[in-house]
Structure 1
């Protein structure tokens, strides 16, 4: 869809899968049918799946390379803001009650309506227009609108170099994405990072949070306010990530984030083991929850989608996001399905499994993932070329700013 309808067209079309189910859920009580809610939630899942892939891809393609990190993880920032808003509206004193829940579910369509009204005023991805559609005129116009100045020849030149360097690949699909040696380590990295993101225990932490707060002596009616507080911490750390990602880099934030999550899971295991033996231990468990949220919000939460955008060039990026999205949601579903049984069988020791996953992901990132900040997509592909045992050669100086044809001898892409 995102190759035929383009990035912006896909996002506009995707609003249907948010607005329609919001209306369905809003009228479900009047209709007296819980089946409507089930169908609506299924449709909303389609919206979430498309948005979580297309939005970071669109933002990554329209952003200048020196701000691509900050703009790319704005997606995660607004996800955390959305979660916090939902937690606030979900308070029993607001809409989290018998009378208010249909209104709360119906309000989920408002962001889609706002996007439907405003997104048409934004340009299509210039990189998509030039490389995949060959429309340099509209690519130039879109780039000039986005940058705010007329001289965009340097960026267009870089796009032409990328276009010529990947001609050997052609338009890739998910199935033949696995056959290209030049993409082998990028694809494996995307799978590891997205599995690490979801299997690191973030959903388990939230699953356990209410019982942790309760055991710490927080009154049942007040647990909802503590939950809102953790949501606020999540938003704050996502904002910090946006502010520092261009200085610290992606790799460092991933390492710090997974390191903190690993440590928090280990401490959580110890704390839960001694929780009934030491009176003050439940309060330490609350600290562990907050520390884990801080670690996840600064690295494992926002960075994988950004790095997925950066590690792939134009033709391979859409199928790469399909793989990333599939791994992301299957892993998310697996944790939600398995963790209650895991917790019942292993108790506090279940978090050791998550600690091991965080540690494995940490080691993988340390060994394999290069720093990608302030680099073009082609430069990042070259960083992986040696590990993939391929040669990717492209010289900027060979590209004419008029956009003329380039011979195969001027730009060579060799797949061994």
Structure 2
């Protein structure tokens, strides 16, 4: 006879997830409006730099009846380029507060403000004869990139079933590269990288943001955020039904409950405490080495 432990419920088998249309479309909407922005604005000023410098010089001449000297031009152009990563730093510092208070999807929607407003400012900078608008907009776009580059992987990872998290996790880098590629194409002199077309070239960054603002509200919030941080199990189940396309959700909901209990038991994990944990030391070191190697390779230069 087989021995059975009384009072111990059998484990609920996990059902393998599939790439349902809702999950696919949510991924495309989120990634195109977020990671694409990062790649596009990273590369858009590289090829037509002489056109931008000419605009700076002409604007300065109209104001002061003399052209810029080489040092001033170098300073202004360095600011134009370097303001983007500076804004990215600022965005990465506030993203934690945003994703906890506004949700993953809510953060991505709010972040569109930091793309649409600078797109408008850069689009009118030539008419306004103000190169300062371009420099200021690069800071704001950097904030947009810093927020989206952190919030997007979190959103996609929490939407995806376990067996598809790796696939959807790659979408961030895929859309960054697509953004870089299209920026290089559009900035060719024969397309938009010329004295007449550069305002449109810079303003195009608002198009993906506008599309995301119009489409992403129709897709669900992260089920994990709804259940663990908001305590709304009904919303989490509704989101899972749309994302998974079936009603067999008990195993996934139970996994999230166990994860929530484990997080509450461990308490808040600060950066210093994370570095002090021996059990995570090699994982943390591996991540740091991989990320540092990626950035120092010049992929984002």
What TM-score does the superposition give when structure 1 sets the normalisation length?
0.47
Which residues in structure 2 correspond to 1:260-299 (within 5 Å)? none
Kindly state the Cα deviation for residue 175 of structure 1 after the two structures are TM-superposed: 5.4
Q: d(CA) in 1 for partners of 2:205 and 2:178?
A: 13
Aligned to 1:66: 163
The equivalent position to 2:251 in structure 1, one of 145, 154, 160, is 154
- SS of equivalent to 1:168: helix
The change in CA–CA distance for 1:171 and 1:137 in structure 2 (over 3 A counts) is: farther
- SS of equivalent to 1:202: coil
Q: d(CA) in 1 for partners of 2:213 and 2:192?
A: 26
The change in CA–CA distance for 1:123 and 1:174 in structure 2 (over 3 A counts) is: farther
Kindly state the Cα deviation for residue 88 of structure 1 after the two structures are TM-superposed: 1.4
Q: d(CA) in 2 for partners of 1:131 and 1:178?
A: 25
Kindly state the Cα deviation for residue 183 of structure 1 after the two structures are TM-superposed: 4.0
Q: d(CA) in 2 for partners of 1:23 and 1:112?
A: 12
Supply the RMSD in Å over aligned alpha carbons: 1.7
- SS of equivalent to 2:247: coil
Which residues in structure 2 correspond to 1:232-381 (within 5 Å)? none
Kindly state the Cα deviation for residue 184 of structure 1 after the two structures are TM-superposed: 3.6
Which residues in structure 2 correspond to 1:8-407 (within 5 Å)? 8-174=105-271, 176-203=273-300
Higher-RCO chain (CA-CA 8 Å, sequence separation at least 6): 2
Aligned to 2:65: none
The change in CA–CA distance for 1:201 and 1:87 in structure 2 (over 3 A counts) is: closer
The change in CA–CA distance for 1:182 and 1:13 in structure 2 (over 3 A counts) is: farther
- SS of equivalent to 1:3: helix
- SS of equivalent to 1:17: helix
Q: d(CA) in 2 for partners of 1:99 and 1:45?
A: 25
The change in CA–CA distance for 1:83 and 1:22 in structure 2 (over 3 A counts) is: same
What TM-score does the superposition give when structure 2 sets the normalisation length?
0.64
Kindly state the Cα deviation for residue 40 of structure 1 after the two structures are TM-superposed: 0.2
Kindly state the Cα deviation for residue 197 of structure 1 after the two structures are TM-superposed: 0.8
- SS of equivalent to 1:186: helix
Structure 2, unmatched stretches of 5+, are 1-97
Kindly state the Cα deviation for residue 162 of structure 1 after the two structures are TM-superposed: 1.6
Q: d(CA) in 1 for partners of 2:112 and 2:269?
A: 27
4+ runs of 1 displaced by more than 6 Å? none
Q: d(CA) in 2 for partners of 1:118 and 1:106?
A: 20
Kindly state the Cα deviation for residue 160 of structure 1 after the two structures are TM-superposed: 1.4
The change in CA–CA distance for 1:180 and 1:138 in structure 2 (over 3 A counts) is: farther
Q: d(CA) in 2 for partners of 1:181 and 1:8?
A: 34
- SS of equivalent to 1:93: coil
The change in CA–CA distance for 1:35 and 1:175 in structure 2 (over 3 A counts) is: farther
Q: d(CA) in 2 for partners of 1:103 and 1:88?
A: 14
Kindly state the Cα deviation for residue 12 of structure 1 after the two structures are TM-superposed: 0.6
Kindly state the Cα deviation for residue 158 of structure 1 after the two structures are TM-superposed: 1.2
The change in CA–CA distance for 1:82 and 1:27 in structure 2 (over 3 A counts) is: same
The change in CA–CA distance for 1:42 and 1:75 in structure 2 (over 3 A counts) is: same
